Structure 1
């Protein structure tokens, strides 16, 4: 398990809005991109990550210039959330800019506690003077056209609205449940993000710039979870994630297109307001994201980690920089459960 880096004092030296720059005539700034159903049902939060690079790194002015170029291809990140004439959420491509902050600290990053997305990679390419490749795919509507007639084959009210990795998740689910001291009669669930890009037929390219995640939510009594073999929990996870196939994703697209559903004014069930998830967990599998490909000119990062999230019970699975297929796992727990969790992780190893 990866350890969190200790808190440090950081001074903000400057803060500015960086806007895209174009060769020739700039594009219109009143274009709106409608959000897809997958954008609407997912969290409305800003995600933060931390990278660390070995020196010598390029000057901040070069990194800022790279951001200017990258934003010209990824205009959504310089735009603003807005509503169209019907009150539907959209991204307004007004080139208002992205916040660029320079900060410093006197502390030294202690590597002793550190184990050895496409917008991000484009920024590194632009900083190095290289063309942005591959280019992002912006058209959300092209991939999620409802079938004619729509076929709603699964229940979506109350769900999306209001193998080796399965073993790893099963192990963590069990260990966290024991560390929390959850009553064995209580039902626990693990909410797992499922990337639909490779599950839709035809697959959606990784260059698609937008949300395409639904959630699997296997549940079981804690007593069964901790007392039955690990393979039992792993099978539950595999079963729930496997059913999130092309048919399930298409069913949701059709469901959201129905006029009576639109009249219900349903809201996404994915809420970011929880602070304590116990007895449940939420797992974000980031294995397919190219975090380690970010290069501003001094080489790839030697460390990547999610930023602190003040939510008990959230986990991030991140590919290890070693390149051997191993994973770093970041787990957020209440302080009085941490010691027990660490001890259990060392004493009980999953049979992967």
Structure 2
């Protein structure tokens, strides 16, 4: 567990749009890429992350040129979200560019401070003048419904809800010891589950798109408090295991059907509440290649999510020191920090 680092005072020196840099002509221009069913139902948030490197890193101009080269492979980052003639969301590959900001700070990042992705690894390789690989897979048309479709699971109230329904009406409730909730409450935790290895055949890790659904383990708060930790772990494992190839295929069939529009359903992923208590949402970033990012000065000595306004988010990630340990970031209200620390000490 890591405590929040004191906010840094940062001065913006410059801000510009960086466009893809091609060796030749791009293979296509102004192409509209339709979003997959997984892109459409995921939450629409901006999540910023921090990487910190030793001062032997390359110049900002080299990093900027590396970004332009990486964008030639990851054109979606330089494109824009639009709607097609039917009102469906698409990515317009118009090479408008990605925002590149140069900033400075007088603050010092301590190496001992405890604590993203294939694109950043490619950016680092491009900055160092090395070939980018493996190349991303862009085919969002791979998730087509079966013929005939076979919806074997209930997706209403899970991935979809009626429009204008409150966030708490269909989303699960979560409780913990740290928040001091009534033990009679039924508690749920919402866990993001990557479907790449769960679909048959598996989808390669290089697929450049969303492929996440959610598991919703539940239990009485009293059981979570009074039973061994293995009880909660077994519930989480059971909930995640349920999301197999059959479940993902069932979701694809339902999400691709006309029932979603006919019934006026919308995705449940978008939560508008800033305080989730008694809810909790967990994300595992354990498979992200954090330590593979290298712009020429070595691997990062620190990786962490930035400040988030939503209370109740939990992130699991490998330690930046590379010893195989796991670090957990929890966004919490100030008055819940002390009991949470006490609970963590009891579990040590």
> Fold-level match, TM-score > 0.5?
yes
Deviation for aligned residue 1:46: 1.6
Equivalent residue number for residue 317 of structure 2: 318
Q: How many Å separate the matches in 1 of 2:37 and 2:20?
A: 28
Give TM-score, length-normalised by structure 2: 0.93
Deviations 1:56-79 (A, max 9, x none): 110000000000000000000000
Q: Secondary structure at the match of 1:193?
A: strand
Q: How many Å separate the matches in 1 of 2:128 and 2:5?
A: 29
Deviations 1:149-196 (A, max 9, x none): 10000000111113xxxxxxxxxxxx9812111111222211101010
Query: Which shifted more, 260-269 or 223-232?
Result: 260-269
| Structure with the higher helix share, 1 or 2 | 1
Q: How many Å separate the matches in 1 of 2:151 and 2:123?
A: 40
Equivalent residue number for residue 114 of structure 1: 114
Question: Contact conserved, 1:187 with 1:279, CA < 8 A, in 2?
Answer: no
Task: Trace 1:275-314 onto structure 2 (pairs within 5 A).
Answer: 275-314=274-313
Deviation for aligned residue 1:27: 4.0
Deviations 1:90-122 (A, max 9, x none): 10001000000000011111334325x111111
Task: Trace 1:169-208 onto structure 2 (pairs within 5 A).
Answer: 177-208=176-207
Q: Which runs of 5+ in 1 are unaligned?
A: 163-174
Deviation for aligned residue 1:299: 0.5
Q: Secondary structure at the match of 1:135?
A: coil
Q: How many Å separate the matches in 2 of 1:103 and 1:158?
A: 44
Question: Contact conserved, 2:79 with 2:94, CA < 8 A, in 1?
Answer: yes
Deviation for aligned residue 1:295: 0.3
Q: Secondary structure at the match of 2:8?
A: coil
Query: Which shifted more, 270-279 or 212-221?
Result: 270-279
Give TM-score, length-normalised by structure 1: 0.92
Query: Which shifted more, 314-323 or 248-257?
Result: 314-323
Assess, with a 3 A threshold, how the Cα gap between structure 1 residues 16 and 272 changes in structure 2: closer, same or farther: farther
CA-atom RMSD, angstroms? 1.5
Deviations 1:119-162 (A, max 9, x none): 111100000001110000001112x1211110000000111113
Equivalent residue number for residue 71 of structure 2: 71
Q: Secondary structure at the match of 2:94?
A: coil
Equivalent residue number for residue 223 of structure 1: 222
Q: Which runs of 5+ in 2 are unaligned?
A: 162-173
Equivalent residue number for residue 49 of structure 2: 49
Question: Contact conserved, 1:186 with 1:221, CA < 8 A, in 2?
Answer: yes
Deviation for aligned residue 1:82: 0.6
Question: Contact conserved, 2:175 with 2:277, CA < 8 A, in 1?
Answer: no
Q: How many Å separate the matches in 2 of 1:322 and 1:11?
A: 28
Deviation for aligned residue 1:24: 2.2
Question: Contact conserved, 1:66 with 1:127, CA < 8 A, in 2?
Answer: yes
